[in-house]
Amino acid sequence: MAREIVLDTETTGFDPKTGDRLIEVGCIEIEDLLPTGRTFHSFVNPERPIPEAAIKVHGITDDKVKDAPRFREIVGDLMAFVGDAPVIAHNAGFDRAFINHECHLCGHPVIEEARWIDTLALAQKRFPGMANSLDALCKRFKISLVERTLHGALIDARLLADVYLELKGGKERVLDLSTRPGLSSQNDVLVAGAYGPRPRPLPSRLRPDDAETHRVFLLNTLKDRSLWAAYGVEVQSVD
């Protein structure tokens, strides 16, 4: 299975080079473009005040993170959750810069740039010249934003997972009936469409007079041009 991690962060500002720090990280695990239900989430004590402008965006105050762990205390669990999977983020350069900055500060290896997948770049390629923010993409793909009154790392990661699915082909992918190792063709149908074969066929709704009308049509109108004639099906003549 193709395992990927959708990641989002919240921060004190826009640039770690000017002293801004990470204050929240949220991750969603997906396999074959479907969420598995496994998540990672933590607030992070940034060891500095959070500016009012940032609080208006995500609602995370100094009081909310004062007892949160430092990044060095969660980096092991975070990286264990990520593993060696590709990391998906919207405007990935932003999240990568903060994650790598925090890793550098505590002496932890960074996530290599080649492992990051930028959904903003994917969206810009698919919708050139259009608004491609996470909000705009959710509205375009009719993904509900009802839970999102403010930015939040785990909420945004969940939304981004849905957006990423759409960017990679959308819900049409669940109609793929190709055989997967270890599954019968019947199981594949159940996974793809959530419907199995009927235990009993439905009774015919064809009325006798309809059947007779159709038989006459085949005999007198189509004759030897009937599709069924090519398969050796004979229609009895009408007296």
Other C-beta atoms within 10 Å of 139: how many?
13
Judge contact between 77 and 40, C-beta under 8 A: yes
Residues 6+ apart with CB under 8 A from 57: 10, 150, 151
Contact 49, 61 (CB under 8 A): no
Return the H-helix or E-strand segment holding 31.
Answer: strand 22-31
> By three-state DSSP, how is residue 109 classified?
coil
- On the CB side of 192, CA atoms within 13 Å amount to 17
DSSP 13: S
Residue with tokens 């019947």: 186
| Residues tagged active-site | 151
**Nearest residue to 111 (alpha-carbon basis) of 234, 237, 7, 229:** 7
Residue 199, judged by CB atoms within 10 A of its CB (0-12, 13-18, 19+), counts as: exposed
